[in-house]
Chain A
């Protein structure tokens, strides 16, 4: 079968052996990397640059993110409240039994004796500011109010009995503690939330570990589905919200999409190739794609420890580009007859190597942006292309070295198309077309919105979003990613600063711009405030006549005051250790190594984040952490940086292209992809689509792929028509992998697919201009 010339053209045998060795190594490496299950992450935060530079900021971020990632809230509603509670009990039991949760709570399990003890021991430090001030300003009124509470039929009974709290300080402290949220125990202890006349049984669960641990979200999601099924079978309604459910949705969606888009594009591509080349041997071109995907994933895991699902979706299709390598030389079979794989490879190798180099340069430029998301995709693609190229050159030719008789029709179509183009150019010169194109581009680009938003990175799950919003409305728990970080020299200073900020936040709450907040200053008084309270206590005795009239004895009152005054002041850490402090505990960041202290103020149900800006002005040591805004700023910055890097890459590619083509040829080859990218950007504008960071990445990809086409058309191995067929084939296969991404439900991915899909059309249409104009197409 092989001719002597074919033998001579073969690549050296050691190269194939080396490739096999490398392939074995790659498979072994991948197997080792996947030894503990797939190293795939769905944690969006890993794709974002860490905006929190300091250790303290990171700790704060962790504290704020923890409930967003770990909490799962389930609400059960039924016409009959008791059925709802019974269903909630059953569901909570199942959740507990699953072993996935560190905690499942559906009823009050408050340790009342421990709470009572803390109120007794710490009543002075727990007393709220208004009550402290009232006591100091007018002990008489304070006693009068105590009397009112004793007589009132409408005040709740106190945890601390009267005989241990004659002056009612513990009673008042208990009363004035803020109650975050709208969840209350029913008379039998079951937690309920009421909204719009409906009562919902509440289950609050916390998962073990993190929402983004690989298998956990799907398992938790299964549990929630089962619970929903159970509740709905009883004509009840179940609402569920939690970061873990979003993670599960994202994982499912990404996996389904990756496999759907991946398999559709693979099947369509292979069917097309089979149709054109009429031998199933040609289907082996899938091999470089596989090797490419394997190398890309291995490189990512080796460099980043994990591979993100978003990278996998984007990267898997990027490798679809790698199918172009074998296609470039296989398409030469239309004219290079009799077909000799090695000869075709030898002829196209310089062009292929050039295309590889320009592509890898294009991708690697992206790796230098500070965005881990782009770095991951860039590394995946660059490594994937290298792997695919190696496979396409070292292994594939010997596998497809069989007689090839491609379907002749496409070649004649290409010849006709080229002739048509020539006639068109005869009537309408290139410069006119260019001018028209530029006008189209400018008009389109002026309509592009460059707004980027983190929300575009996650696939839309309207059902989940809607449930989360309803749960927020019903329970009053609407965790917010914006928060305040307060630093101070001492705990007292920290409490003072939080109190000052709290007063301003109270105004926002009154204006209904904010639902509520949690601050350490709501819980504990400063030691200074406790000391002034100590000083004011004896005056209570002077006005205690009304209490004596009720039958309290002077001795008992004196004894209580003496005991209170004898107590040393209570530190913030002591207060936080008690059971009452549970909701506030995460806010305390502790004492830093330099002796300073730090604490958070967390916000609930923020309606207008702009209301927070400037709110802390004039209070030292307070910083507003607005992560979403910060990220959106970073997006914009990265866009600019990515564009600059790409320009730099273009210069390098230009220099590279100068070697074979000279200055004017290189410029021509580079102009094709750049114009294609512009055209695609303009189309996004015309379509009313924004340019996201990933869209930009898509445009950069278009320039890289466009260079390939330009090189192919420029080199014209086997003639212009053959090159055009080869380019079309490459474009169609690439389009099959990228264009399909436009259908993704993740806005960022879909935007990327659209940008690439449109750009490819332009790159193909413009590619013939890369050739020298003076020559007639050779045949």
Chain B
């Protein structure tokens, strides 16, 4: 029983790490510069809209919420509509908020492994990404597009491509699954800060 992938999560993290990059450089924009930019801001906040297109359903599953990304700490992802659920990704894994506090979701299965890969992404480690994906960067620091193509056959059975686009920040992540389902993630109202609020601090510390 292999829980193989956690696909939207993937794209999300790639995007979030990439969007921490409001820069304006004149020279050709490359992956190294992109990853260097990712490490700069301490805290990023914003709202998200996720559209899941499932073949089986006539309409997309649309959800909205807010997020907080803290460098070296983790990610808070607050799903607000149509269902409410708070998530947290940190070095310890993925947790869901329950009435009794944060509860770590099962860390068995490949999800546990993926999680560390996500954190590598959070830290702007494009090297780790290149292990599993071909990365293709086009455009400039103000308007770039990064295409991720799976290297392995197994991975290609799940994803066909992941496309991330950004201007001053990443704005659009599109993930196309091999089976025909796809997910589109749009990030808006991005704000950069240099510290966490006490509540966020508490959520990430717990």
| Closest beta carbon of chain B to A82's beta carbon, Å | 7
| A185-B110, A187-B152, A188-B154 known; A151+B6 contact, CB < 8 A | no
A310 to B161, CA, bound (A): 62
Which residues of chain B come closer than 8 Å to A112, judged between CB atoms? 2
- Cβ contacts under 8 Å, B89 to chain A: 154
A552, CB-defined interface residue at 8 Å: yes
Interface residues of B in 5-32 (CB under 8 A from A): 5-9, 12
Q: Which of A175-219 contact B (CB under 8 A)?
A: 175-179, 182, 184-189, 192, 194
Structural contact, A550 and B59, CB atoms closer than 8 A? yes
Complex interface bits, B38-64 against A, C-beta within 8 A gives 1, otherwise 0: 000000000000101011111101010
- Give the nearest-CB partner of B11 in chain A: A153
Contacts A192-B113, A194-B116, A551-B57; is A157 near B79 (CB within 8 Å)? no
Q: Which of B80-88, B135-143, B162-170, B196-204 is near enough to bind chain A?
A: B80-88
Contact A163 B55 (CB under 8 A): yes
CB-based nearest A residue for B81: A151
Q: Of A142-150, A374-382, A644-652, A657-665, which stretch is located at the interface? A: A142-150
* Minimum distance in angstroms from A447 CB to a CB of chain B: 50
Residues of A contacting B7 in the complex (Cβ-Cβ under 8 angstroms): 157
Q: In whole Å, how far is A129's beta carbon from the nearest beta carbon of chain B?
A: 15
A184, B52: Cβ atoms under 8 Å?
no
Once A178-B108, A188-B152, A551-B57 are accepted as A-B contacts, the answer to whether A153 and B132 lie under 8 Å apart by CB is no
Q: Is A133 an interface residue (CB 8 A)?
A: no
- Pick from B1, B56, B82, B150: contact of A163, CB below 8 A: B56
Interface: B77 (CB within 8 A): yes
Say yes or no: B1 contacts A551, CB within 8 Å: no
Contacts of B131 in A (CB 8 A): 81-82
Kindly list chain A residues whose C-beta atoms are within 8 Å of the C-beta of B103: none
Residue pair A151, B106 in contact (C-beta under 8 Å): no
Complex partner residue of A154 from B4, B6, B179, B185, CB under 8 angstroms: B6
Residues of A within 8 Å of B185, CB to CB, are: 153
CA distance A185 to B114 in the complex (A): 10
User: What does the 1/0 interface line of B91-106 toward A look like (CB < 8 Å)?
Assistant: 0001000000000011
Interface centre among B61, B94, B151 (most CB of A within 10 A): B61
Chain A residues, Cβ within 8 Å of B106: 175-176, 179
- Shortest CB distance B17–A (Å): 15
Nearest neighbor of B133 in chain A, beta-carbon distance? A187
Are A156's CB and B111's CB within 8 A? yes
CB neighbours (8 Å) of B87 from chain A are 152-154
B50-A179 in contact (CB<8A): no
Least CB distance, A534 to chain B, in whole angstroms: 24
A185 and B61 form a contact (CB under 8 A): no
Q: How far is the CB of B82 from chain A (nearest CB, A)?
A: 7
Whether the Cβ atoms of B6 and A179 lie closer than 8 Å is no
A737 part of interface (Cβ distance < 8 Å): no
Interface residue ranges of B99-128 to A (CB < 8 Å): 105-106, 108-113, 116
Minimum CB distance partner of A180 in chain B:
B108
Q: Is A580 part of the binding interface, using a Cβ–Cβ cutoff of 8 Å?
A: yes
Q: How far is the CB of A137 from chain B (nearest CB, A)?
A: 16
Known: A162-B56, A187-B152, A188-B155. A550 touches B61 (CB 8 A): yes
State whether the Cβ of A155 lies closer than 8 Å to any Cβ in chain B.
Answer: yes
Contact B82–A147 (Cβ < 8 Å): yes
How many angstroms between the C-alpha atoms of A157 and B185 in the bound complex? Answer: 17
In the complex, A110 has a CB within 8 A of chain B: yes
Q: Is B158 an interface residue (CB 8 A)?
A: yes
Known: A157-B6, A174-B1, A177-B1. A150 touches B52 (CB 8 A): yes
Q: Name the residue on B nearest A161 (C-beta).
A: B56
The verdict on A438 contacting chain B, using a C-beta distance below 8 Å, is no
Does B59 contact A152, Cβ atoms closer than 8 Å?
no
Give per-residue flags for A394-408: 1 if the beta carbon is below 8 A from chain B beta carbons, else 0: 000000000000000
- The CA of A148 and the CA of B58, in the complex, are separated in Å by 19
Contact B85 A148 (CB under 8 A): yes
Report the Cα distance A176→B106, complex, angstroms: 8
Residues from chain A with Cβ under 8 Å of B1 in the complex: 110, 115, 159, 174, 177, 179, 580
**What is the distance, in angstroms, from A530's C-beta to the closest C-beta of chain B?**
20
> Which one of B50, B83, B105, B179 contacts A144 once the chains associate, using CB atoms below 8 Å?
B83
A417 within 8 A of B: no
Q: Does A108 contact B (CB under 8 A)?
A: yes
Residues of B within 8 A of A184 (CB): 109-110, 112-113
Instruction: Say whether B113 contacts A186, CB under 8 Å.
Output: yes
Q: Would you call A151 and B154 a contact (CB within 8 A)?
A: no
Residues of A within 8 A of B3 (CB): 156, 174-175
Q: Provide the residues of chain B in CB contact with A154, threshold 8 Å.
A: 6, 8-9, 77, 87, 89, 94, 105
* Cross-chain pairs A/B with CB under 8 angstroms, 15 sampled: A150-B61, A151-B79, A153-B9, A156-B5, A156-B109, A161-B55, A161-B179, A162-B54, A184-B109, A187-B132, A187-B154, A187-B155, A189-B152, A549-B82, A551-B59
List 4 A-B pairs, minimum CB-CB distance, nearest first. Answer: A188-B152, A163-B56, A179-B108, A153-B8
**Residues in chain B within 8 A of chain A (CB atoms):** 1-9, 12, 50, 52, 54-59, 61, 63, 77, 79, 82-83, 85, 87, 89, 94, 105-106, 108-113, 116, 131-132, 150-155, 158, 177, 179, 183, 185
A contact set with B: CB distance below 8 Å:
81-82, 108, 110, 112, 115, 144, 147-148, 150-157, 159, 161-163, 174-179, 182, 184-189, 192, 194, 546, 549-552, 580
* Other A-B pairs, 5, CB within 8 Å; known A151-B79, A157-B5, A185-B4: A153-B50, A154-B9, A154-B105, A161-B55, A192-B113
